[in-house]
Structure 1
């Protein structure tokens, strides 16, 4: 008599309990976009919202956000009365980050996930931190009804 492993016995017991192996084709499952797809969509959304803003060219989740102006442009696109974008200086990173993060918190209810000091300390922002912050900002703007999403 051949030996059967414990794993095979367990699998047989489960199949027996639930009426045997599945019959017919597996139900059609729709693939949901993975992390790369979500990142690409968020980056494209940021690009679209900041297009036309001076000193802003969103290419990634790190260096593109280094002056703080991309954050300011993104927020200004939703809250144009919050501050005068034209008066901002790309060299005043501390002010730009402080203004953007305060505006996001006050106007959009976005949690302060990034610290101004951390952003100015690094010459290039950490891509994971920026991505996480932008996801939270997007979520808050959707909750406010300022961003329309496709219903599935």
Structure 2
């Protein structure tokens, strides 16, 4: 979530600058954006096995959601039905490599980092990468 901060002076307290959140982006709009992105991911992966996208953490840990999302745009690049949900590293590498080669979407997450995070990767890391995927893949819709 991006939050803009700005300086202001409160003349009633003292003359030191203070930080205050901008009202242009609040929590509800950020959660709305996240929900829209989750909905988009779900719509692109309908019918794919081993997919249950409900968050930006555990839903992506085995790489299957990344593979399904990328495969929905580039179905000739790999056989999704031959993927094994237990092969996390392979799935993540396949999805990230295909997205980079076909959609010019750079890796914002490394496979080893995802592996180190285990079953619950950092939601902000995953959200940031999925948002980048959206921005790169939508031109292929």
TM-score band by shorter chain is: 0.7 to 0.9
What residue in structure 2 maps to residue 146 of structure 1? 140
Task: Verify: 1:119 aligned to 2:96, yes or no.
Answer: no
Q: Deviations over 1:39-82 (max 9, x none)?
A: 11000000111121111110110000011000000000000001
Q: Pick from 50, 53, 72: which aligns with 1:77?
A: 72
Q: Which runs of 4+ in 1 moved over 6 A?
A: none
Richer in strand (by share) = 2
TM-score, with normalisation over the residues of structure 2?
0.78
Count of aligned positions: 117
Select which of 74, 88, 112 maps to 2:83.
88
Q: Counterpart in 1 of 2:102?
A: 107
Q: Verify the 8 A CA contact 1:105 1:111 in the aligned structure 2.
A: yes
Which structure has the bigger radius of gyration?
A: 1
Structure 2: 5+ residue stretches without partners: 1-10, 12-27
Unaligned runs of 5+ in 1: 1-6, 8-32, 148-152
SS at match of 2:53: coil
Q: 1:5-28: CA deviations, max 9, x gaps?
A: xx6xxxxxxxxxxxxxxxxxxxxx
The residue that corresponds to 2:126 in the other structure is 130
